[in-house]
Amino acid sequence: MQPQWAKFYIKGDPRLIITPFLTSLNTLWVRVHNSITDKLQNLNPSWNDENLNQESRRVVAALIQHITYKEYLPLVLGKAMMDEKNLNILKKDHLQTYQPSHDATNANAFVAAAFRFGHTMVGGKFKLPKRKPMTLLESFSEAKSVKNAGTRPFDFLEGMANTLSNTLDTWFTPHFHNSFAATLSSEIDFDIGVISIKV
């Protein structure tokens, strides 16, 4: 059974309602998607819902890819690796190296295991505008806050933008220790740090 408030957020993955910091980011992208859909509908009145949805998804995917390659990967990999692997976004024109025959799917070892390096970067406390900081542990039972009048999704986004992440290392925040059963409605609790090391 999901908690009562979970019905406000049908996100396709229960992890998206673990903490309002994640829920708000997802909410932002859903709203971007919908605003693109509105614009496309005005430009193309004959398109049906499926066309509008698929085309909006493509635009959102392109935006996320752009942020990933322009902002995120240079911080994670560093300039030398970005240059060596030819991952930099061009200042003008487009790359002409796309090969439709190449398999662009993610390796399972990365998606299910290696990318968990991000768990070491999660901090234990987040700033919030106009209220005291929220600990990660508090946030696990606060996903409903995104719905509360007092705290809007943008407050969580502003809070995250003003909070430094932890360093990428071998340490996990203690807030990850046995704190997910209630939020994920799981029978047993679990420790993300331990799982992330074991996989």
Where do contacts with ligand HEM occur on this chain (CB under 6 A)? Answer: 15, 18-19, 111-112, 115-116, 118-119, 121-122, 180, 192, 195
Nearest CA to 193 out of 185, 184, 175 is that of 175
Residue 33, annotated ligand binder? no
Q: Which single residue brings its beta carbon nearest to ligand HEM?
A: 118
C-alpha to C-alpha distance for 34 and 83, rounded to whole angstroms? 35
Q: How far is the CB of 7 from ligand HEM (least distance, A)?
A: 20
Q: How far is CA 81 from the centre of its chain?
A: 23
Closest-CA residue to 136 (of 160, 117, 171): 160
Which of residues 118 and 129 has its CB atom nearest to ligand HEM in the complex?
Answer: 118
Output 32 or 160, the one with its CB closest to ligand HEM.
Answer: 160
Minimum Å distance from CB 100 to ligand HEM? 27
Shortest Cβ 117–ligand HEM spacing (Å): 7
User: Whose Cβ is closer to ligand HEM: residue 29's or residue 115's?
Assistant: 115
Query: Distance from first CA to last CA of the chain, Å, rounded?
Result: 27
Minimum Å gap between C-beta 1 and ligand HEM is: 17
Pick 54 or 165: Cβ nearer ligand HEM? 165
Least gap, CB of 19 to ligand HEM (angstroms) = 5
Nearer to ligand HEM, 9 or 180 (CB): 180
Positions at the binding site: 119
Positions at the binding site for heme b: 119
